[in-house]
Amino acid sequence: MSTEVVTVKVFSPHRDLLDVKYRREGLKVPVKAGSSLKDLLTALKEMNSALESLEADFSRGQVMISQGSQRIQDLSVPIQFGQTIWVVDATQGG
């Protein structure tokens, strides 16, 4: 199975992710073709420990994920390569 690169832009003001690359440039994340958004969150966790709780926060409704202009409700959705994936974190930090 081939590997594709997806661009993920993360907006999370309290996870020590204020570095401009997370919001403007986005992270280039290599994932296998046919991967789901759950697989993508796993890859993000491996890239930065500050992203470890994204999946749990998503399940509590505190993180919004969109693919292009489509808001994602289920992490089993396959990644649509060629579209930017946005991760917007609304948790309050702690």
CATH number reported for the structural domain that contains residue 21 in this entry:
3.10.20.30
- Domain range for 23 is 3-89
Within a domain: 94: no
Structure tokens at 10: 């993360």
For 73, residues 6+ apart whose C-beta sits below 8 A from its C-beta are: none
Q: What is the pLDDT of residues 72-86, one digit of tens each?
A: 999 999 999 989 999
Per-residue pLDDT reduced to its tens digit, 8-26: 988 876 666 555 566 677 8
* pLDDT tens per residue, range 49-73: 878 888 899 999 999 999 988 999 9
User: Is residue 52 domain-resident?
Assistant: yes
- DSSP string for residues in the chain: --EEEEEEEEE-TTTT--SHIIIII-EEEEEETT-BHHHHHHHHHHH-GGGTTHHHHHHTT-EEEEETTEEPS-TTSBP-TTS-EEEEE-----
